[in-house]
Amino acid sequence: MSPEVIIRPSIDTERTKSERDFAITFKYTAVFLGIIEESQMVTGTVKFFNRTKHFGFIAGDDGKDYFVHATGLKPGVSIAEGDKVSFEVVAGDKGPKADKVDKAT
């Protein structure tokens, strides 16, 4: 039996076309290989976020830590230590990374 692959493109206007193409290719390859799950949403608490260096870490409620960069925040969102957030997990250069980070409601 062959694996079923479902492609669900998402609209991403914050990246250039080449960045979107790479992200889409990488994401679907990773999903197909079982490295990451598609659109896995997680909640957690900001461990720290350095506004000068534009990065930090989030402690996920699933027990894992996630790198977060300022480019992974939704427009208009700012985060600080202790904030409850929700985010999408994506594959980063060195492990899982938080993307589309928003404050949890």
Q: Could you write out the DSSP letters of every residue in 5-71?
A: ---------SS-HHHHHHHHHHHHHHHHHTSS-TTEEEEEEEEEEETTTTEEEEEETTS-EEEEEGG
From the first residue on, what is the mean pLDDT of each consecutive set of 10 residues in the chain (105 residues)? 51 59 54 54 95 96 94 95 95 89 91
> Count of domains in the chain?
1
Q: What is d(CA 35, CA 53) in angstroms, rounded to the nearest whole number?
A: 29
Tell whether 7 is covered by a domain. Answer: no
Domain that holds residue 48: 40-103
Instruction: Flag whether 80 is in a domain.
Output: yes
Statement: the pTM of the whole predicted model exceeds 0.75:
no
Q: Is 72 among the domain residues?
A: yes
φ, ψ for residue 84, nearest 5 deg: -85, 130
Burial environment of residue 46 by CB neighbours within 10 A (0 to 12, 13 to 18, 19 or more): buried
Query: CATH number for the domain including 76?
Result: 2.40.50.140
The reported pLDDT for the residue numbered 1 is 47
Q: Which pLDDT score, from 0 to 100, does residue 41 have?
A: 83
